Copies of this chain bind each other. A is one copy, B any other.
Amino acid sequence: MPRSEIPLDDIDHDLLAVLQRDADQTLGALGEQVGLSPSAVQRRITRLKKHGVIARTVVELAPEATSDLILAVCVVTLDRESNERHERFQQRLLNAPEVQQIYMVSGDWDYVVVFATHGMAHHNEVTGRLLSDAPNVRRYTTLFVLKPVRTGNALPTR
């Protein structure tokens, strides 16, 4: 999917907002919410996917339904600023399915990483391998999630 810039009108914005909350609806139901016929909705969705505005469609699991789920936010600083080191660090994290999110950030820390694991043993194994025993991690701090008040990846579109 290419991702050239395309203009979005009000209806596109409405449609994207709806789809980011619930994409499990028929074109007719979506049409009612944005004031369009099913075929018009279909045309717009096709266009939004084609131009890469809509990156993908996924299901989200209920955190409560995942047994022994431990969510943790780790802030990480690497040893030195070096592109190669950053690349390697990112690649290691990307290869781990327990790494839910990775953000490179500015300021005192280099990265914010969200881990999703099953139980403390699993958490320790994963963060140990990816952070404690990593060659280029200078320091990191773990913030254990007591309650995921809101999750999701919804982006404002205007």
**Are B56 and A56 in contact, with the CB atoms below 8 A?**
no
Number of copies: 2
How far is it, in angstroms, between the C-alpha of A38 and the C-alpha of B54 when the chains are bound?
26
- The residue of chain B having its C-beta at the shortest distance from the C-beta of A94 within the complex is B150
A27 within 8 A of B: no
CB distance from A71 to the nearest CB of B (A): 7
Chain A 130-151, CB within 8 Å of chain B: the 1/0 string?
A: 0000000000011111111111
**Are B61 and A58 in contact, with the CB atoms below 8 A?**
no
Between-chain CB contacts (< 8 Å), 12 pairs:
A16-B59, A20-B60, A22-B56, A54-B60, A73-B105, A93-B149, A103-B143, A105-B145, A107-B143, A116-B154, A116-B155, A118-B158
